[in-house]
Amino acid sequence: MNKGIVHLRINGEEREIAIAPNRLLLDALREDLGLTGSKRGCDDSSCGCCAVLINGVPMLSCVALAASYENCDITTVEGLGGPSDLDPVQEGYAEMGGAQCGYCTPGFMIATKALLDRNPNPTMEEIREALSGNLCRCTGYMQIYESVKYALEKRRAISAAAASGVRAPVVR
Amino acid sequence: MSLPAFRVLQPRTVDEACRMLAEHGAEAMVIAGGTDVIPNLQMKLFAPHVLVDIKLLRELSQIEFSPRGGLRIGATASLTHVLETPWLAEEFPVLSSAVATIAGPLQRNMGTIGGNLCLETRCRWYNQSYFWRQSLGGCLKKEGDVCHVAPGGKFCWAAWSGDSAPAFLALEAEIEIASVSGARRVPLRDFYKNDGKDRISLTRNELLTSVHVPARMAGRRGVYHKLRVRDSIDYPLAGVAVAMEVDASGICRDARVALSAVNPAPLLVRGAGEMLVGQKWSRELAERVAHAAIQTGKPLTTSASTPIYRRDIVRVFTRRALEEVWKNGQASS
């Protein structure tokens, strides 16, 4: 198969890759771009481990052809934040035991990020609905919901602090 | 699982898409959201040389309503777009309650209304990897000549597994189909063939472009009930859609009941409308319509649940849906 050049904006950075037309976005991310945060779980679009944000919307990279998303903005879990600048969502999952084996965690964090960006004050029902496409076999989901609550408290604290010009307090 | 080799064409207009389909015909498949097509390609259920990716056809992504033209939803409108169109839930509750049950939120962000109306039929003997299927020598729908659901039979029972189609049937929807020889409009009920192997009346060089609901259906009460293994994500094991017009004195003026996942096609329940029109709510009437529903629904062992249970749940869901709709969303049993 002839490879073609595809342009993607990955975590804010312009990337250009030469890939075959049947290259899945998940494989392009993991193998062509070395971003192994997104995981292949079920391989048939039913678990959410491979979720990434495409133009801000959470989608499944295991059923997306990379070439179909030419010039799109893609955010993977690596794009949320690194070890020294964790996103409140990542901090929440770390603090509240939202990750056990960790395999589903990138997908959950992407779904959480998408939820909080759209709806800064979700109800418990809205949280459950937003995460209902992601499967976790370890936690029983309660710690995950606690993690989301932590993240949204932290985001509230950050925006309140920003509004008053004070540094963000640590939320526990 | 790996994907077969194919080229991807990205038309910018419906005309261009139709020309591509006319040129590549049997070798081409249409892809939009990819949530149905990609897993099927990975299982080697199809081996197209060309994928016509219609995701970028903006002209097909609109959802609009006019008092004359009624509701029109373009084929590439995402399922999330349907759910997040606020007036749609008020005017066509049966449709939004059905779409809300399709897969999970991530799939709904990708999947399209056109894709859901053209979904591949599903069966436990069919939706498996190539390796798995080969160990049985295939089935009637693919690579074999024996039906493992009804051995000895020559008919494919793979179940219709879309949730939006029964809602659209209950709303008397029509679809528009484009090809190089022009557009045609057909009632949705004539689109489905009730044959698991050859599910829809759509040739390889045609494209479903939109679905239309008559304006008079706006405001009609309705609901969709769905049985599935995991309530957050799965395909239906049985589904019942009810749309009904009830006048101020509580008399049913018009009604349709449609089923999903218990036949190779989504089907309207025969005789349901005639039983309901002119009547007031009664438990006994609902039971009679529910009985008609299980005469239309003929589930076989195509999925994870047993036919007996799925048939019984069709009866229960029909009665509950009628009660809920008639009593305007108040408690059901």
CATH of the domain at A115: 1.10.150.120
A114 and A134 belong to one structural domain: yes
Chain A residue with minimum CA distance to B4 = A22
Residue after which a domain boundary falls, among A30, A47, A78: A78
The ipTM is 0.94
How many structural domains does chain A have? 2
Is B333 contained in some domain?
Answer: no
Establish if B55 touches chain A: CB-CB under 8 angstroms.
Answer: yes
Nearest by CB to B8, from A43, A67, A135: name it: A67
Is A144 contained in some domain?
Answer: yes
pLDDT of residue B330: 42
Alpha carbon separation from B204 to A163, B18, B114, B177 (Å, rounded): 58, 10, 15, 12
Is B320 contained in some domain?
Answer: yes
Is A172 contained in some domain?
Answer: no
A70 and A93 belong to one structural domain: no
CATH of the domain at B319: 3.30.390.50
pLDDT of residue A169: 58
Q: Which domain holds residue B284?
A: 58-118+159-326
Q: Is A63 in contact with B105 (Cβ distance < 8 A)?
A: no
3-state secondary structure of B10: coil
pLDDT band at B333 (very low <50, low <70, confident <90, very high): very low
Establish if B106 touches chain A: CB-CB under 8 angstroms.
Answer: yes
pLDDT of A129 strictly over 50: yes
A74 and A92 belong to one structural domain: no
Q: Are A3 and A20 in contact (CB under 8 A)?
A: yes
E strand residue ranges, chain B:
7-9, 28-31, 50-53, 63-66, 70-74, 174-179, 182-187, 207-213, 221-227, 238-246, 252-260, 267-268
pLDDT tens per residue across span A4-61:
999 999 999 999 999 999 999 999 999 999 999 999 999 888 999 999 999 999 999 9
Nearest by CB to B1, from A1, A43, A64: name it: A43
pLDDT tens per residue across span B221-278:
999 999 999 888 999 999 999 999 999 999 999 999 999 999 999 999 999 999 999 9
Q: Residue B134: count other Cβ atoms within 10 Å of its Cβ.
A: 13
Which strands form B70-74's sheet, in the order they lie side by side? B63-66, B70-74, B207-213, B174-179, B182-187
Rounded CA-CA distance B9/A160 in Å is 49
pLDDT tens per residue across span B221-231:
999 999 999 88
pLDDT band at B332 (very low <50, low <70, confident <90, very high): very low
Rounded CA-CA distance B25/B111 in Å is 23
Is A61 contained in some domain?
Answer: yes
Nearest Cα of chain B lies from the Cα of A12 at a distance, in angstroms, of 22
Establish if A115 touches chain B: CB-CB under 8 angstroms.
Answer: no
pLDDT band at B67 (very low <50, low <70, confident <90, very high): very high
Q: Which domain holds residue A22?
A: 4-78
